[in-house]
Amino acid sequence: MKLRLKFQFIRIFLRHRIVLNYVLVLITLSTSGSLALTSPDNFNLPSSTVQKMQSVIDKTFPYPINCWGTALWSQGFINELRPSTKSELLYTFKKNKCRKLQPNEAPLPGDFGSFYNSESGIYHTFIHLDDTFIFEKGSPYPSHVPEIENYKEKFKDFSISFDLKTGCKSGNENECFWGVINYRCDTFNVLAEQATEKTEKFDGLLHTIKRCLKDSTCKQDYILALETFIDILIKDIRHPDSLSFESYRAIGVLLLFANENKDFIQHLPLAVLEKYMSLLNALESLENNTFKKLSDFPDFAKSANASF
């Protein structure tokens, strides 16, 4: 009986942590009153970016996709529209030597903008289109679709008046309640995820996991594949120098799998469940260990070796 109760507790606990901590991002800004009044082809963007944005604007998804996954995918830095993390966002900036914009610099179309505060660091990311419009997915909820927003209209009822240039908009450097950090990447020479031996290993394991999830004839293959998948990710996350595009993609596809198959942990022995919890703890620690203050965010164009 105690083992069953423990299993039920872990099941509920994991389900909520998967959704709340890693796919659903806390957005402290209102996402109502959206104004998708224009088309991405009205802005100075690469044709590939325009096509991607047009393919998802105002469309719902049957699974949670967050702002980071939407932004990175729209600019060609990840190949699949999937959940992502702010640590993957920063890793992408680092590997692509993206430049941190200064407070007096106006963002250009295609620049990454992020809201941050001194407690959580980055908590929402969007793409600048011009000095009025942004492209974003306001939250991971399926009902919140990717949109082109008139941010001036969206935030007109807020007590603070601000633009979307880099800087703290409410508070100060040490205690910023609401700020913006902008990065400019070279989207014509993208260093992004590619097929490697490690990618093929992850894909092979994921294929087995999906194939055997509900097939009792290969239950042991399912457990072994998932355990191996988790072990590799735990090792990578606990040794950040080992993290790679392949690692971050694997995290994203595992989060997507977990949300598409919310009962998958029913098939796992307790030892593998505990490993999965260890993975979530390691990922939470990685996310919490990102930059919090404006001055801490590096200019990756000058310091590509910056760590977080």
* pLDDT band with cut points at 50, 70 and 90 for residue 152: confident
Give the pLDDT confidence score for residue 4 in this predicted structure. Answer: 45
Is pLDDT at 186 greater than 80 in this prediction?
yes
Give the pLDDT confidence score for residue 306 in this predicted structure. Answer: 64
List, for residues 215-239, the tens digit of each pLDDT value: 989 999 999 999 999 999 999 999 8
* pLDDT band with cut points at 50, 70 and 90 for residue 16: very low
| Span 96-101, average pLDDT | 96
Tell me the domain boundaries of the chain: 2-22+193-288, 31-192
* pLDDT band with cut points at 50, 70 and 90 for residue 250: very high
- Is the alpha carbon torsion for 3, 4, 8, 14 positive or negative? positive
* pLDDT band with cut points at 50, 70 and 90 for residue 34: very low
Give the pLDDT confidence score for residue 307 in this predicted structure. Answer: 64
Give the pLDDT confidence score for residue 308 in this predicted structure. Answer: 59
- How is domain 31-192 classified at the CATH fold level? endopeptidase fold (from Nostoc punctiforme) (3.90.1720)
Is pLDDT at 75 greater than 60 in this prediction?
yes
Give the pLDDT confidence score for residue 160 in this predicted structure. Answer: 67
| Span 272-279, average pLDDT | 95
Is pLDDT at 88 greater than 70 in this prediction?
yes
CA-closest candidate to residue 15, choices 285, 261, 286: 261
Q: Which of 9-13, 46-50, 52-56, 152-156 has the highest average model confidence (pLDDT)?
A: 52-56
Give the pLDDT confidence score for residue 23 in this predicted structure. Answer: 39
Percent of the chain past pLDDT 70, that is, above it, reads: 83
List, for residues 167-180, the tens digit of each pLDDT value: 999 999 899 999 99
Is pLDDT at 164 greater than 80 in this prediction?
yes
Give the pLDDT confidence score for residue 14 in this predicted structure. Answer: 41
CA-closest candidate to residue 29, choices 164, 130, 227, 194: 164
* pLDDT band with cut points at 50, 70 and 90 for residue 305: low
Spatial distance between the Cα atoms of 33 and 45, rounded to a whole number of angstroms: 25
Is pLDDT at 36 greater than 80 in this prediction?
no
